[in-house]
Structure 1
């Protein structure tokens, strides 16, 4: 009887051990993969011509993606992008800051063993230096403007050979006009017949033509207005000037009209029949809108956006540029992400976070999708000109 009990006990123990081995509480990696599931496939990536690294939201078309956004991953030369939305046939992805003409793009889906096919795609830098300015040799650039052929002009300060320099689209630097009495111009505005109009914070506007040193275009007294900081043309080729405590209009016949203004203006732009001016007003940094009625009449200035109260109480506004869709770009003295976008609904955001890492001196939109920026000197950067791909055109410009 004792032997029988002993035999039964061993039989029960063996059965228990066999049953326990059939239930693995810690499944291996193979159990997380569904071998029968078809891997994802990429057919096309839009825009087909390429995108901006870290910026452009790409549309990846294909099949066998997960409609659950979190279960998809897309890699660019092995670096994961940010999946923003997903269906079974399309992914919206922001790529990482990987720059190459032939980035390897592949996708994966959670619990699917194989990656997709590889598609090669071009990711370009969002911001590039158009010429490597060296203070000891090529000088230091300040005010900038752009002509109808996308040549960039800048007022360059240096010990010998200062003047207005041209950087062509291929990146070649050449002297366009020798300097006059100025050390440099803080603002340049391209005018009709490729004549440049310049300011340097005195009560005068200067005129520069190719091969000729700058000369005085108009001057005015303190009774008319304060020192001029910036200018822009309207559709009638009246030159509007932002000054300390005034807005000035100058007709093609050089008739000057002054309008009192509550603030010291740093920069102005003309858009849709109005002057947009950034100014220091009552210790606040404000973007103003001033309707233009005629060369000798303007509407009541209105606060379009109070940067000090809405964004930051310390940052200073240095320059302004406007897109065709009405977005307003303000260059500031912020040391990182210095350009802010003010949308028509008055919402705002920083332009291309993490891409631009120095304060703004000047801004100027070219003939297409490029916004040019004079980057200020800092501990880590020389003062130079940066070309920013905005992926959209600027507002109409009447001077060129």
Structure 2
């Protein structure tokens, strides 16, 4: 009897469940659910990096770059498209039914899977026989030189025509760094001082160094001991060359001094009560950043100026304000540590806090996803690398970085051009 009762009880329960399920289906619907209104499976036909976001082999720049995805069935509303790179979501910044623009996440590799999901479509976008695009390539734009760690305090930064990097350590050694992955730097030369605000190669192949005094030193081509070369008219920390091999230098003396190839010298421009904190020659002008250290509160406290190079002898025109930095960033904003230019005339400004680099023309921070301040020294190589000395206060934060771009730096007259 108990077995018979159990049997009929189970049958009754089964019929009850079927009846309840049928009761929940609306009379105007069919079963199974009608999927005829769902979108068709989207299709990917092409994936490629933005030209400003890739290297010469079309490998995309992870974290900072943008890519385009072409195909069919996308939503024109960016938020209704989701794009994943090995599972990490990218940021869709613009969209149409046939094209998406996506900011890359920080995913690096040669075999990345790209999935595209569109609102209303049950399946990921199709590429050939797959439901994802494959393979996609992305790389890191930043490499740190392993030879420089927290135990080495390195100042200055120079780059030769072969993109070898040079720094001065507090052990009074000038180190040559040939590859970011190498842990064994070469000793290129020696110095009588332990730190330098600026070092650059000159047209004669010598390495020029400053120490914040009137003296300018140089190491002969091929390396050796840094020896005093000339005494400038004022205290200088930063220097650069023009196409006629004139050397321009400035620092706490508040002047732009000019040293000719024959070592004769003159004062080209005066910035009274200003400390010149960076100097770069570009497109027929000498550009400087400077901080006011006088008592007149009406003066521009920090800014960037330029002086036109008037002739082959290096004579300079009037001081021309480029930007009032204090007005732009505020009194509590970051300070300028270094300036340089790319081949298109964009000015890159190295900063001491908040962000590492600011682009003056575009009025935006650069590579903030992967760079942190300070950017003490910015120096272009001979190709598409910008080198940064992060000479931070904390030893753990000090690094020498090689940062990749899709463009070259402006012409530097201190080394031969390829």
- Please give the TM-score of this superposition, normalised by the length of structure 1: 0.85
Does residue 1:322 correspond to 2:325, yes or no?
Answer: no
1:381 Cα shift?
3.2
Cα pair 2:154 2:169 within 8 Å, conserved = yes
Please give the secondary structure, in 1, of the residue aligned with 2:326: helix
Taking the aligned partners of 2:338 and 2:219, their CA distance within structure 1 comes to: 22
Does residue 1:97 correspond to 2:106, yes or no?
Answer: yes
Does residue 1:305 correspond to 2:314, yes or no?
Answer: no
Taking the aligned partners of 2:145 and 2:217, their CA distance within structure 1 comes to: 26
Does residue 1:375 correspond to 2:390, yes or no?
Answer: yes
* Structure 1 residues 128 and 355, CA gap change in structure 2 (3 angstroms): same
Cα pair 1:43 1:61 within 8 Å, conserved = yes
Taking the aligned partners of 2:304 and 2:191, their CA distance within structure 1 comes to: 33
* Structure 1 residues 32 and 110, CA gap change in structure 2 (3 angstroms): farther
Taking the aligned partners of 1:379 and 1:398, their CA distance within structure 2 comes to: 34
* Structure 1 residues 62 and 20, CA gap change in structure 2 (3 angstroms): closer
Match of 2:153 in 1: 140
Does residue 1:260 correspond to 2:266, yes or no?
Answer: no
Does residue 1:21 correspond to 2:26, yes or no?
Answer: yes
Taking the aligned partners of 2:32 and 2:147, their CA distance within structure 1 comes to: 52
For residues 1-400 of structure 1, the aligned pairs below 5 Å read: 21-22=26-27, 34-35=37-38, 37-46=40-49, 49-116=58-125, 117-136=132-151, 139-158=152-171, 162-169=172-179, 171-172=181-182, 173-209=184-220, 210-220=222-232, 224-225=233-234, 227-244=235-252, 245-258=254-267, 259-262=269-272, 263-281=274-292, 282=299, 284-294=301-311, 295-314=313-332, 315-334=334-353, 336-343=354-361, 347-379=362-394, 381-400=396-415
Q: How many residues end up aligned between the 2 structures?
A: 369
- Please give the TM-score of this superposition, normalised by the length of structure 2: 0.81
1:132 Cα shift?
4.2
Cα pair 2:164 2:176 within 8 Å, conserved = yes
Taking the aligned partners of 2:140 and 2:328, their CA distance within structure 1 comes to: 31
Taking the aligned partners of 1:247 and 1:32, their CA distance within structure 2 comes to: 75
Long gaps (5+) in structure 1: 1-16
Cα pair 2:376 2:391 within 8 Å, conserved = yes
1:100 Cα shift?
2.4
Long gaps (5+) in structure 2: 1-21, 51-56, 126-131, 293-298
Taking the aligned partners of 1:31 and 1:333, their CA distance within structure 2 comes to: 61
1:328-352 CA-to-partner distances (Å, cap 9, x unmatched) read 0111111x42211101xxx511111
Larger CA deviation: 197-206 vs 296-305 = 296-305
